[in-house]
Amino acid sequence: MARGIASVNTDKFIAAKGQMARRTNHASIASDDRPCAIPPSSVLLPQSGAIPCNDASAIKPQQTRALREPNAGRDSSNTNCLDHSLPPHPRLTARRFPRKALAMSAAQQTPAPPTATGGAAALRALLARPVPAVMGILNVTPDSFSDGGDFLSPERAREHAARMIADGADIIDIGAESTRPYGAQPVSAAQELLRLRPVLATIAALGTPVSIDSMKAEVVAWALDNGAAIANDVWGLQRDPAMADVVAARGAPVIVMHNRDDADPSIDIVADINAFFERSLAIAARAGIAETNIVLDPGIGFGKTPQQSMITLARLSAFAHFGLPILVGASRKRFISTVSPSEPKQRLGGSIAAHLIAVHNGARIIRAHDVAETAQALQVAHAITTSIEDNR
């Protein structure tokens, strides 16, 4: 008899359990297109930091796959579901933690790829040395102003990079689009990538930090994910609106260069550069780029008359108040020819003179075509100045 009662109770329990399971399953399907492997409360309470998995419009560009390593934080078995490994959407986080949201962007919460992190450490080490660092220029372009077409083949590009490293280059700056101020033809991001893909990895494998000279966020994102360690933006984060987020998401150092569409001889160029840097630093702060990852470049020859380029070099210390390292690239620039008429490849003497003045006025990185001669000049100048100080 007891056995019969137990059997009846068991049947009732199983039936009740099945009915409850059907109700639960129906509710979860009604809340989304497909059931998610998470508690329904995360969908019902977006203020917790979760974003409904069918609401793609709520996700900012810096939270998309383009700004992280392939498949990072994704569950391939259930791609329609919320992923708790992704950082919370900043607008949703701000509802509960407004101060924290202002202090930490989504880009800051994203782990940086190893290459970009290594670039930050390498840059700090270079800046800690007494002698300024030398950045060697490698243009894989057909139309750069002084060496266009010289290094288009991957073999010649790698050979030239290796030679510059042997000559004393601390950074190799690769550009796939001519940014010369006069007569340069714009190229697409696809064309830049076509020129970079055959050379970047093999040059990065040489072991010296590589910077990518591009004003396009798409190109910089690819390069930082494939061997480059530093971003070099000739428009100082102000031309491509996605650039700051790309740099911040990877924790990469960035060179912020002053630029103008046209030179205006009537303006106070030093004041203009200061105002430009203020805007760039505000953009960087909003994106979450650490100040320790920023280098300032006054952009010699860009949006300036020859006279304004010389004034900028003479008054370089006017930018010291930012407390950030300064890079100067006066190599073979046109202003040299206004003083001593010459073709670009015959401007070595003028380039070295300009760079020594820049270092005297506070520059910590020199960007040059002629690496061996530039490195030697910097070493000798440093030895002379320190010998004077030692004998005081």
Given the structure tokens 């996605």, which residue do they identify? 242
Q: Which of 195, 304, 332, 333 is catalytic?
A: 333
Q: Does the annotation count 68 as an active-site position?
A: no
Structure tokens at 245: 């987020």
Q: Which of 68, 260, 334, 367 is catalytic?
A: 367
Q: Does the annotation count 3 as an active-site position?
A: no
Given the structure tokens 């010389």, which residue do they identify? 310
Contact present, 127 and 325 (Cβ < 8 Å): yes
For residue 178, give the nearest of 207, 232, 141 by alpha carbon: 141
Burial 178-209 (b: 16+ CB within 10 A, else e): bbbbeeeeebebeebbebbeebbeebbeeebb
Active site residues: 333, 367
